[in-house]
Amino acid sequence: MNQKAADLPTAAPPTAGIRANETIVPMLPCVSSEETTAFYQALGFEIAYEMHKPYLYLQFAMSGFRLDYGKTPQGIDPADEDAGGCLVMVDDVASYHAAFTAAMRESYGKVLAKGRPRITRYRPGATRFTLVDPTGNSIVFIQRDEPKGLEYGGDKSLPPLRRALDNARIYREFKNDDKAAFRVVTSALRRHGGDATAVDRAIAYATLIELATALDERERIPGLTVDLEAVVAQLDDDERRLVADELQLADDLETWISESR
């Protein structure tokens, strides 16, 4: 005789007995223990644990977090920069970028802005940057209160040129793709520049100057500067200050890059 469902014993939920206090520790691949150790020590990390036999296991600690490394699987090429990675959520991302930049200057005599290992650039107000280690892992430092929603293609509530500038921000800061950011703004200026306000056009040209600096395509800058100056002549004092602030970011980036040579 079949029992009614109501008479059957109730199974314990699958999470019974589990306490919500887990800690997740990503295991990153490591091609060269010597290069990886040297890199993190140069940044101010301490070696929390080190073992080379019977297998490789490294821990690097800083502040309240650590990075763990193990053996690299076959087939990983550090040049591809897709070995692995992890996210580090912090309260003040700018302070970490400043600390790592200063440590690089102290240890290497320059900022590691190109090649591998390296640190990506940081613009005031950005919510993340990336460390790329010798194996090609990406350690992404993210502002804890970073907005959750991203509109790839740019904020749809904005006029076309400003929407393109917002989309370029996403490419620049979330995808580390300055080339795509440059293409997006260039295309938007060509298609929508005639309908945009003078100040939006000026900010777009200033943005392209900053991106050309990041891309080391300085041959583009004189022509962009001529275009910018023609638009700036139409602006009032407050608008010119907005453009000057954007151009200052290009100057700051040039200084930062020069420290990597």
The torsion angle over the Cα atoms of residues 13, 15, 16 and 18, rounded to 10 degrees, is: 180
pLDDT band at 23 (very low <50, low <70, confident <90, very high): confident
Contact 187, 164 (CB under 8 A): yes
Mean pLDDT of 184-190: 97
CATH for 27-71+78-143 is 3.10.180.10
Over residues 31-36, the mean pLDDT reads 95
Higher pLDDT among residues 259 and 120, named by residue = 120
Structure confidence at residue 186 as a pLDDT band (50, 70, 90): very high
Contacts of 63-69 spanning 24+ positions with Cβ under 8 A: 66/25, 67/26, 67/28, 67/40, 67/139, 68/25, 68/26, 68/27, 68/28, 69/27, 69/28, 69/29, 69/30, 69/33, 69/36
> What's the chain's average pLDDT?
91
Q: Give the residue from 57, 56, 58, 55 showing the smallest Cα distance to 45.
A: 58
pTM score of the predicted model: 0.86
Averaged pLDDT, 188-198: 95
Of all residues in the chain, what percent are helix, strand and coil, respectively (each to 5)?
Answer: 45, 15, 40
φ, ψ for residue 217 (rounded to 5)?
-115, 60
Looking at residue 259, what is its pLDDT? Answer: 77
CB 89 within 8 A of CB 81: no
Predicted pLDDT of residue 53: 92
The angle that helices 237-258 and 198-214 make with each other, rounded to 10 degrees, is 0
Contact (Cβ atoms closer than 8 angstroms) between residue 57 and residue 68: yes
When pLDDT is cut at 50, 70 and 90, the band that residue 22 belongs to is: confident
Question: Within a 10 A sphere around the Cβ of 121, how many other Cβ atoms?
Answer: 25
Is the CB of residue 205 less than 8 Å from the CB of residue 213? Answer: no
Which helix (H) or strand (E) segment holds residue 59: the answer is strand 57-62
CA atoms within 13 A on the CB side of 83: 28
Distance of alpha carbon 198 from alpha carbon 190, whole angstroms? 14
Place of tokens 């613009």: 123
Every domain of the chain and the residues it spans: 27-71+78-143, 160-258
Mean pLDDT, to the nearest integer, of 33-50?
96
* DSSP code of residue 3: P
Tell me the β-bridge partners of 69: 28, 58
